[in-house]
Structure 1
Amino acid sequence: MINIDITKQLHGSDGFMDLDIKLNINEGDFIALGGESGSGKTTLLRVLAGLEDAKGSITVGDKTWLNAKESLSVQERDIGFVFQDYALFPNMSVKQNLLFVSKDKELAEHLLEVTQLSSLKDRMPNRLSGGQKQRVSLCRALMAKPKLLLMDEPLSALDPAMRSKLQQEILSLHKEFGTTTIMVSHDPSEMYRLSERVIVLDKGKIINDGNAKDVLLKTQGSAKFSFEGELLDIIKVDVIFIAIISIGKQIVEVVITKEEAQNFTIGQIINVSTKAFSPNVT
């Protein structure tokens, strides 16, 4: 269990505000952290990492990371941090970047194999694509087998196809290592796909906290429309099948037939159209 009870004064776009966070997170959870820019998401990650100070307390299991008397250094906290800008050592090869964290060659080889980087292990960062650099960054963060993995919009600079691929790799590694993960994201489909719990901040305060479906789903009646979206999930409720679809920056649910549920594939781009209140999904 991770217990967070912290306060910190921040200077936002509208002047000073207080970051005031009280959270309990179960071990092994995947948390998506959302909210507008300047709401305190990145600062919260940095406080957890020990990169910024704050008042209050942070305990991870039976170990205290922060209280009124002490604050553990970054090196003393059992964390991995994946930055948006990769932060790789430019003078080290892919494998050397990993072994800098830990000399566990077997683990390094395993991570490179899982993320399909084995053939690039001797390549320097300046010869890698953005997606490859992000995979190296993720592997390096996991080399220390951290209790807490922090990710600050790690996929925001990548194209949609690469984002989708890395999302699956992040999820599989999260499950394999049993790491507690907190990820900042502005992408509702990414949050829905990866997280078990979504926490939304606004002006330093938690304004929403719940499972991804309850927090993200925004289904409203509408007039005639036709949109393309990505099929995220199909849920069966009694005898009804419901498609969860990402359209733009929103996630909606649409009732579909049993035949449609059998024919559709998760991740498929589908068309959602309606006349009055009778949607058709094709």
Structure 2
Amino acid sequence: MSDNLLDINIRHSLQTANGILPMEVSFSLSKGNILALTGPSGAGKTTLLRQIAGLVNPQSGKISLDQQLWLDTSQDIQIPTRKRNIGFVFQDYALFPHMTVKENLLFALETKGDEKVVDELLDAMGLTQLHGRKPHQLSGGQQQRVALARALVRKPDLLLLDEPFAALDHSMRYQLQNLLLKFHRLYHFTVIIVTHDIGEIFRLADRVMIMNHGKVTQLGSPAEVYTSETDNADDLTLSGEVLSCQKLHGHLLVSALIENKVRQLTLPLDMEPQMLPGNNFTLPYSLDPNRIRLVNNR
């Protein structure tokens, strides 16, 4: 018996700013893996997540989870979203504004589900004291914790995350990554996360898949994908906090906290205004040593 939990083979016409693009995606993902999905804007990443969730129907193909068919256009099989045991978190959080924090979680709980899991998640996410507040009374980081807790309340087999931490500062992003890893170890669910942050990819993912123009261009471990000579990493970013910055031999030597590790970056001199100690930064990442170079990791 295959250990692949998720099997996808779909075709679709993707609407882009440059017209209609043929989308063809085929891959398998083993149970318990965390897959980072990355690539340029318009590549089809969000559309793929929505197709897996059943929110968008591909024009043809199959999607199965643990050998249960969720979609098979040849047999006219289409399992609705509510019957797919998934959790998903998008950038806009999509919390119900008229419900409290706890009510948002209870609404997501299965009928006759054990309400104890709601209190457990509120405690684990540090939300117990906020359970009676409504979304507009919460910070962005607090709203994101609620969204993540709501996605986990049904103990999903598959968790879909669409750049869930992109709008958060480095400290909050790292905190929520820790929570994701904690619950992943506890519940052993499979994860697909759309991200452009290279540190996040290496910290979270077992596998990484690059999409471009509606197709999978690379699939492998982060080390395999990002040491490939054919890889194009122009759309990736590196995020962190500046610890110190000094001029040295015609460039900047920056000490930065990136994914809770102190790293040394060499950067162009014209970036000095962005590299003041204490600043949070997001930079384009490249393997080209003439642009941004990781020269030390300790």
TM-score (norm 1): 0.80
Question: What CA distance in whole angstroms lies between the structure 2 residues aligned with 1:137 and 1:233?
Answer: 24
Query: More displaced, 32-41 or 72-81?
Result: 72-81
Query: Partner of 2:99: helix, strand, or coil?
Result: coil
Question: What CA distance in whole angstroms lies between the structure 2 residues aligned with 1:227 and 1:218?
Answer: 26
Is the alpha carbon distance of 1:187 and 1:62 closer, same or farther for their aligned partners in structure 2, counting shifts above 3 Å? same
Task: Kindly indicate whether residue 63 of structure 2 is the aligned counterpart of residue 61 of structure 1.
Answer: no
Give RMSD over aligned pairs. Answer: 2.7
Is the alpha carbon distance of 1:246 and 1:95 closer, same or farther for their aligned partners in structure 2, counting shifts above 3 Å? farther
Tell me what 2:149 maps to. Answer: 139
Deviation of 1:175 after TM superposition, in Å, equals: 1.8
Tell me what 1:258 maps to. Answer: none
2:133 pairs with one of 123, 126, 147: 123
AA aligned opposite 2:190: T
Question: What CA distance in whole angstroms lies between the structure 1 residues aligned with 2:144 and 2:297?
Answer: 35
AA aligned opposite 1:59: S
Question: What CA distance in whole angstroms lies between the structure 2 residues aligned with 1:212 and 1:229?
Answer: 22
Tell me what 2:234 maps to. Answer: none
Task: Kindly indicate whether residue 112 of structure 2 is the aligned counterpart of residue 85 of structure 1.
Answer: no
AA aligned opposite 1:137: A
Q: Is the 8 A contact 1:80 1:142 kept in 2?
A: yes
Q: What fraction of aligned residue pairs are identical, expressed as a percent?
A: 38
Task: Kindly indicate whether residue 234 of structure 2 is the aligned counterpart of residue 227 of structure 1.
Answer: no
Tell me what 1:34 maps to. Answer: 38
Query: Partner of 1:100: helix, strand, or coil?
Result: helix
1:51 pairs with one of 45, 52, 55: 55
Task: Kindly indicate whether residue 105 of structure 2 is the aligned counterpart of residue 98 of structure 1.
Answer: yes
Q: Is the 8 A contact 2:199 2:258 kept in 1?
A: no
TM-score (norm 2): 0.76
Tell me what 1:70 maps to. Answer: 77
Query: Partner of 2:78: helix, strand, or coil?
Result: coil
Structure 2 unaligned spans of 5+ = 230-248, 267-282, 288-292
Q: Is the 8 A contact 2:32 2:188 kept in 1?
A: yes
Question: What CA distance in whole angstroms lies between the structure 2 residues aligned with 1:75 and 1:281?
Answer: 44
Deviation of 1:206 after TM superposition, in Å, equals: 0.8
Q: Deviations over 1:102-158 (max 9, x none)?
A: 142211111111111111111111111000000000010111111111011111111
Query: More displaced, 185-194 or 209-218?
Result: 209-218
Question: What CA distance in whole angstroms lies between the structure 2 residues aligned with 1:208 and 1:123?
Answer: 43
Matched positions, count: 248
Query: Partner of 1:52: helix, strand, or coil?
Result: coil
Deviation of 1:26 after TM superposition, in Å, equals: 0.3
Deviation of 1:215 after TM superposition, in Å, equals: 2.1
Tell me what 1:5 maps to. Answer: 9
Structure 1 unaligned spans of 5+ = 235-242, 253-271, 274-278
AA aligned opposite 2:55: L
